[in-house]
Structure 1
Amino acid sequence: MAQIRKDKERETPALSTSSLPDIIFMFLFFFMAVTTMKEVTFKVRVTAPFASEVQKLDNKSLTRYVYVGKPMEQYKKLFGSETRIQLGDVFADISELENFIVSERSAMKETDQNLMTVSIKADKDTKMGIVNDIKQSLRRAYALKIVYTANKTVVNN
């Protein structure tokens, strides 16, 4: 019978780092494949007005957007040239805004529902009457946190 000799202690080999870049690239491709960027197709033209006091939103994932402006050129034949409201990727009326807000709120986590903010992205030439109608509809839907999107005014000294 053969005997195994233990003449000397063996050292554990050093950790090989040659495969580390491969692992990092696998993680990179995994996150690129898993994450998606939700982009809205603008159907209304929105040129944001200027404001002197502008702040950035803290948590954009809790923000829902209401776009207000005149339809883009390709939609003018179908919807006319009057100011329209866009919710998500579709045109909507004021009467549909409440249901949109309720459905968006119900899709959120229960802990985040009270933190939902509605951002009104209105064109600078939009009449204030339609903005007031939007605010009244948001009030009926209990969406009381409203912000307006604006560009910061550049001050020359």
Structure 2
Amino acid sequence: MNRFSKKTSLRTPELSTASLPDIVFMLLFFFMTVTVMKSTELNVLNELPNATEIKRLENKDRVIEIHVGKPSFKYRSILGDEPRIQLNDKFADISEVAPYVLSQIQRKPKHVRAFVVVSLKVDKRANMGLISDIKKELRKINALKINYTTYEGDAFKNIE
């Protein structure tokens, strides 16, 4: 009458780890192809000033960087000693700042665009007239969130 007998020792089979290396290498190749390396070469001498009251920016994906400083030694014979503006990997005039910032904002996702911060990385020996001109260009396109990148330290060390 009883055709099916009950097994007394039911064991769960061991977990097979044979496909684990395949999964690891698949993830490795995925991240290698998706990851973008930022390769901006600094073409200006940029010794940042010191400041005591500083705050770290939380979201780096919302930052647009503008470098200002004297051209590096390999460009000095061509461009001279005056401080220059560097946008990404090229030198730019003051009239190119607004279109550059607008194009960088358009590349950001829509939900981030309202929170974009323009970070000015200015050499401590750059003249304030150039920085004022950059700020006027940013005001024209309503990019009013500006950050000055500095090192933490004694601000009196900036005086030469």
Where does residue 65 of structure 2 map in the other structure?
Answer: 65
Compute the displacement of 1:129 (Å).
1.1
What is the rounded CA distance, in whole Å, between the counterparts of 2:139 and 2:154 in structure 1?
Answer: 33
Q: Percent identity?
A: 44
Aligned residue identity for 1:140: K
What is the rounded CA distance, in whole Å, between the counterparts of 1:125 and 1:18 in structure 2?
Answer: 61
TM-score normalised to structure 2 length: 0.84
What is the rounded CA distance, in whole Å, between the counterparts of 2:74 and 2:14 in structure 1?
Answer: 64
Compute the displacement of 1:150 (Å).
0.2
Where does residue 30 of structure 2 map in the other structure?
Answer: 30
Compute the displacement of 1:33 (Å).
3.0
Aligned residue identity for 2:42: F
| Structure 2: gaps (5+ residues) | 156-160
TM-score normalised to structure 1 length: 0.85
The alignment status of 1:140 with 2:140, answered yes or no, reads yes
Compute the displacement of 1:47 (Å).
0.5
Compute the displacement of 1:32 (Å).
2.5
Aligned residue identity for 1:27: L
What is the rounded CA distance, in whole Å, between the counterparts of 2:55 and 2:93 in structure 1?
Answer: 29
Aligned residue identity for 2:73: E
Q: Deviations over 1:77-98 (max 9, x none)?
A: 2211110000111100111111
Compute the displacement of 1:18 (Å).
4.5
What is the rounded CA distance, in whole Å, between the counterparts of 1:22 and 1:154 in structure 2?
Answer: 53
Compute the displacement of 1:8 (Å).
8.3
Aligned residue identity for 2:55: Q
Give the match's secondary structure for 2:58.
Answer: coil
Compute the displacement of 1:21 (Å).
4.4
What is the rounded CA distance, in whole Å, between the counterparts of 1:60 and 1:71 in structure 2?
Answer: 26
Q: Deviations over 1:17-71 (max 9, x none)?
A: 2443452243234213320221211111101100001111111111000100000
Q: Which runs of 4+ in 1 moved over 2 A?
A: 6-13, 17-26
1:105-120 correspondence runs (5 A): 105-120=105-120
Where does residue 123 of structure 1 map in the other structure?
Answer: 123
1:1-157 correspondence runs (5 A): 13-153=13-153
What is the rounded CA distance, in whole Å, between the counterparts of 2:109 and 2:33 in structure 1?
Answer: 24
What is the rounded CA distance, in whole Å, between the counterparts of 1:34 and 1:111 in structure 2?
Answer: 22
Where does residue 3 of structure 1 map in the other structure?
Answer: none
What is the rounded CA distance, in whole Å, between the counterparts of 1:154 and 1:16 in structure 2?
Answer: 60
What is the rounded CA distance, in whole Å, between the counterparts of 2:16 and 2:46 in structure 1?
Answer: 55
What is the rounded CA distance, in whole Å, between the counterparts of 1:16 and 1:154 in structure 2?
Answer: 60
What is the rounded CA distance, in whole Å, between the counterparts of 1:23 and 1:101 in structure 2?
Answer: 41
